[in-house]
Amino acid sequence: MISSSNDVIQTLRTAHQNQTQLNLMADQKANILIGTLALVFTVVLTKLLTLVDNQALLISLVVFILLQMVPLALTVMVLIPKNITGKSTANINDIKNPLFFGFFTQYSQQQYSDFMHGLLVDNESARQLIINDIYQIGVILRRKYMLLRLAYIFALLGFLMAAIVGLLMSIN
C-alpha cells in the first residue's frame, strides 16, 4: 500500500507537535520543582533562625539546604536557553537548522526568504527540513529530560539524607 503525501506530512507534523509538547512539559516540570524548592527553602530557612539551640535539627536542615542546591541548579540549567544565537556563519547555506530562530535570525529577512525559497522546492525538501528539525528538538529534549531526572533524584536524595542525618543526630 502506497501512502499519500498527506499521510507523510501529517506524520511529520504530529511528531513535531509531540516534540514541542514534550519541550513544554520539561519546562513546566522544571518550574514546578523550582517553585517547590523555593517554598521549602523559605520554610526551612525561617525555621533555621529559631533552631540555634537544637544542634541535631540545625545540622539536618543545613544538610538539606546544601543538598537541595544541586536540583535547583539542574532545573535552572533546564530552563536556561541553550543555543539561541546559533553558531555564526558567513554563508547562509551553512546554517545547521534553517527552521530554528537561533540560526536564521542573524541574516536579513530578505536573505532568509531567498534562502528558504531555494530550499523549499518540493514536498521532499520540506519533509527533510521538518525531519532535521524534529531530530534537533529531540537532542535538546534528551538533555532537558536527563537534567530533570537528575534534579528529581537529587531532590529526593536531599530529603532522605536530611532525614537520615536528623535521625542519627537525635539518637546520639
The stretches of 49-120 forming alpha helices (DSSP H) are 55-79, 101-104, 109-119
d(C-alpha 46, C-alpha 58), whole Å: 12
pTM above 0.85, yes or no: no
- Model pLDDT for residues 73-116, shown as the tens digit of each residue: 999 999 988 766 656 667 888 888 888 888 888 899 999 999 99
Hey, what's the cell of 150? 537528575
Residue 151 and residue 78 in contact, taking contact as beta carbons nearer than 8 Å: yes
- Model pLDDT for residues 103-155, shown as the tens digit of each residue: 888 899 999 999 999 998 988 888 899 999 999 999 999 999 999 999 999 99
Domain ranges (residues) in the chain: 5-171
